[in-house]
Structure 1
Amino acid sequence: MPLFETPYPQLLSSISSPSSDQPVYLIFYSDPDPSTGKLWCPDCRDVQEPVKAFFSAPESPKGIVFWVGQRPEWRSPENPARVRWNVHNVPTILKLMEGKEVGRLVEGEILEKGRLAEFTKA
């Protein structure tokens, strides 16, 4: 399954569809810095390539990147990631079933050996 790096509205609406019996994974990252093109969050940069490789494999589940914004947007208590998903650290990966959170990996947990593979088992 491909990794969707642009959370199109139809993809985001599909995660709340009760018809799917497969989990969907929301991957919360900082936005790329406009001057460098790199994610402004160093922890996000650390996990970006391993996460991309994992979710881009043919047998992988659906992963959708949710960009939290630049640093000032991210720090806002009104940030959609904070309000809708209760995300307070990036990177964070949420496991969703029928639009409801059933698991979460935060920051360094994502890089722990075997943790992502175990987390994504259905």
Structure 2
Amino acid sequence: MLTILPPSFTLTDDSLQELLLSSSSSSKSWSAREEACYLIFFSGTLPVLPGSHTASIAGQKEEEEEEEEEAQGDPLSESQLTSLKEGLWCPDCRAALLAVLSIFSPGSLAATTASSTSTSTSTTTGAASAVEARALLLQVSREQWKDRTDGGHVYRKRYDVQSVPTVLKWIGGKEVGRLVDEECADVDKIRALVQG
């Protein structure tokens, strides 16, 4: 399940635990869990995509529910995917969008789009359906990300994220794997991170 968090949302340990608990039947805290969760740091602003949802933020819940209902329709067409990519300010994020969605939100992609534009030699559609990973897509605005005052963006300090895109794998409250920049555009590398 992919949860998309807007640039205005700042992830803390408490909010991470709350988000993971809200999407799980387990009452264990995120630091005590054995299953993996993934933090995906991305540029720009993505809308609610088919097969994903947004986190509830005070004052935005009704608007997000309406957007989610609209997004439950058909998978993204190739032209919609192109439009999404154009809305991202980071070239590496534009390159990684299809690979990230094919693994963490396969319902958002039309099968023809996923297989025809794969950055890997294998097809993405079969492998994506086997992944049942909990992932949070954390978006950062260009202004916030480029601002280096006081050590820079909170994610640079808290998660040692120095570039976008970055995919972190967490198990038991600790980072156990990471993909950075062009690695995030490689479906096989993402699949290996998820399965490893």
Taking structure 1 as the reference length, what is the TM-score of the superposition? 0.81
Other structure's SS at 2:183 match: helix
Same amino acid, percent of matched pairs: 33
Matched ranges for 1:61-76 at <5 A: 61-68=133-140, 70-76=141-147
Aligned alpha-carbon RMSD (Å): 2.6
Matched ranges for 1:1-122 at <5 A: 2-6=1-5, 12-14=16-18, 17-32=30-45, 38-57=87-106, 58-60=129-131, 61-68=133-140, 70-76=141-147, 77-112=151-186, 114-122=188-196
- The gaps in structure 2 that reach 5 residues or longer are 21-28, 47-83, 107-128
Size of the aligned set, in residue pairs, is 118
Displacement after TM superposition at 1:113 (Å): 5.3
Displacement after TM superposition at 1:86 (Å): 0.5
Q: 1:90 to 1:42 in 2, by over 3 A?
A: same
1:95–1:104 contact (8 Å) kept in structure 2:
yes
Other structure's SS at 1:95 match: strand
Q: 1:112 to 1:56 in 2, by over 3 A?
A: closer
Shifted more, 93-102 versus 10-19: the winner is 10-19
1:94–1:103 contact (8 Å) kept in structure 2:
yes
Displacement after TM superposition at 1:18 (Å): 2.7
Structure number with bigger Rg: 2
Structure ranking higher in strand proportion: 1
- The gaps in structure 1 that reach 5 residues or longer are none
2:33–2:172 contact (8 Å) kept in structure 1:
yes
1:29–1:65 contact (8 Å) kept in structure 2:
yes
Taking structure 2 as the reference length, what is the TM-score of the superposition? 0.53
Specify the code of the residue in structure 2 equivalent to 1:6. Answer: L
Specify the code of the residue in structure 1 equivalent to 2:36. Answer: P
